[in-house]
Amino acid sequence: MPGMQGAFLSVDHIGIAVDNLSEAIERFQKLLGGPPESIEEVKEYDVKTAFFGVGETNLELLEPTSLDSPIAKFLQKRGSGTHHVCLSVSNLEGLLQALKSAGVRLIDETPRKGAHGKRVAFVHPNALCGVLLELSEQMPHNEDPSR
């Protein structure tokens, strides 16, 4: 599938499920030598998050705010640790179509709205040896209703 290779721009973030965000922030702050760049609640996913930038990517700590959160289920099953990897892509819609045609199992066959004016979609971990992969595309300003 020539052409798809250019769709992948960077690792946007590494999502880490934690039981207690304040305690996790303290731990990562001790490692990285400074506070997180942002702390916020993402209501669509029932999580509180903190982002620590490292180069062009971020470590995203995720604490569930309800038992229905997918992060709460992950913590119950596996304990705290790396939950997902997010790649920044261009042309998410075209990429999802190409992946579907190639037989890659997707959780989302079309993009949905993510945080920070982004469109996102998840690839099923069964397609990638147990890795839950998020694909994320920055929406153009004129298509972003949150701006």
Positions in the binding site for a second copy (CB under 8 A): 1-5, 7-11, 14, 16, 18-19, 24, 27-28, 30-34, 54-57, 59, 61, 78-82, 85, 87-88, 99, 102-104, 123, 125, 127-131, 133
Rounded CA gap, 2 and 13, in Å? 26
Three-class DSSP category at 35: coil
Name the minimum Å distance from CB 114 to a second copy. Answer: 19
Name the minimum Å distance from CB 94 to a second copy. Answer: 12
Nearer Cβ to a second copy (71/142): 71
Rounded CA gap, 21 and 19, in Å? 7
Name the minimum Å distance from CB 16 to a second copy. Answer: 6
String of b and e for 57-68 (b: at least 16 CB within 10 Å)? bbbbbbbbbeee
